[in-house]
Copies of this chain bind each other. A is one copy, B any other.
């Protein structure tokens, strides 16, 4: 399979990142993330996201980042709020609970917890016989590719401040969120919109790694002890430093994300051209419903994931990435033309 719409992490890294790895691959570096590349990358990230006093740590994956942060921010009896479709609730094999904390779900719309649902959850947690909600987790882009508008983030931030919750953003797909057509959040505003977030590298062509950014000064002390305790400190942290330094030095990170979003629009055009009706989408994930046989054929040919099954139709997911090409789009076009 050369063309794939299966996911955005099927290829290791963009050539420019591969070049950087090759360039520094034999260079002598300080271990455990204390090297010059990690430092430079951290500076770029703090500058980019407008949080000069933040602390930045490079971890090896999204579950590892969420686990490290939440188990650090919460006391044993405290819980994290999120919407029911949240990655930490569904797709991390109980990693947050494995660190001792309840994941407290509320109903979500478009993959986002509503203020009403959050308020209801807080009202229901009245005393020491129930967990104490202490953090709010969202992801931007969400699990289904929707994105947050600035006003939504501001409301959630204010809600968190008023209710003593840390506001944490899972940015596994932060790149495509911030470069989406309808996005109105400037990267340099993000730092002041939350207490902590992570910048996803792995799903945006940077190789392996995510950059955890701790903005709130309450949340910075001894974090290096914590990630070591969680088994998440990399001896060769400089690999991630090299990747993120290259990714952020010259705008590559957002360029790759923008490309992924544009390719999603191309997929949309092709589908519409053949009278299929993809659901409204906002970033690099796109859902569309087909008759069972065609869905099966698309899954077979393009690696799409089966999302849900109805009586007469199947909904599948298309994911584009930094690596999606116009040839991939053309392959989809010619495949659908013959159906």
Contact = CB atoms under 8 A, between A and B. Distances in A.
Contact of A76 (B79, B90, B98): B98
Contact of A208 (B94, B128, B239): B239
A132 B229 CA distance: 10
Given A22-B18, A25-B13, A226-B76, A63 B231 contact: yes
B229 A232 contact: no
B61 A235 contact: yes
Contacts of A92: 129, 228-229, 231
Interface stretch (A1-9, A188-196, A247-255, A285-293): A1-9
A97 B102 contact: yes
Interface string A141-166: 00000000000000000000000000
A238 B12 contact: yes
Interface in A60-112: 60-64, 66-68, 71-72, 75-77, 79, 90-95, 97-103
Interface in A224-241: 224-226, 228-236, 238-239
Contacts of A21: 12, 18, 21-22, 25
Interface size class of A (residues with CB under 8 A): 35 or more
Residues of A contacting B: mostly:
loop
Contacts of A10: 28-31
Interface in A11-29: 11-13, 15, 18, 21-22, 24-29
Contact of A26 (B18, B94, B99, B102): B18
B25 A11 contact: yes
Contacts of A61: 231, 233-235
Contacts of A222: 75, 77, 128, 132
A203 B234 CA distance: 12
A77 B60 contact: no
Contacts of A230: 76, 95, 98, 231
B231 A64 contact: yes
Candidate in A31, A67, A72, A208 with the most chain B CB atoms within 10 angstroms: A208
Contacts of A202: 235-236
Nearest to A79: B94
Contact of A94 (B30, B93, B101, B224): B101
A226 to B, nearest CB: 5
A131 interface: yes
A15 B2 CA distance: 27
Nearest to A35: B10
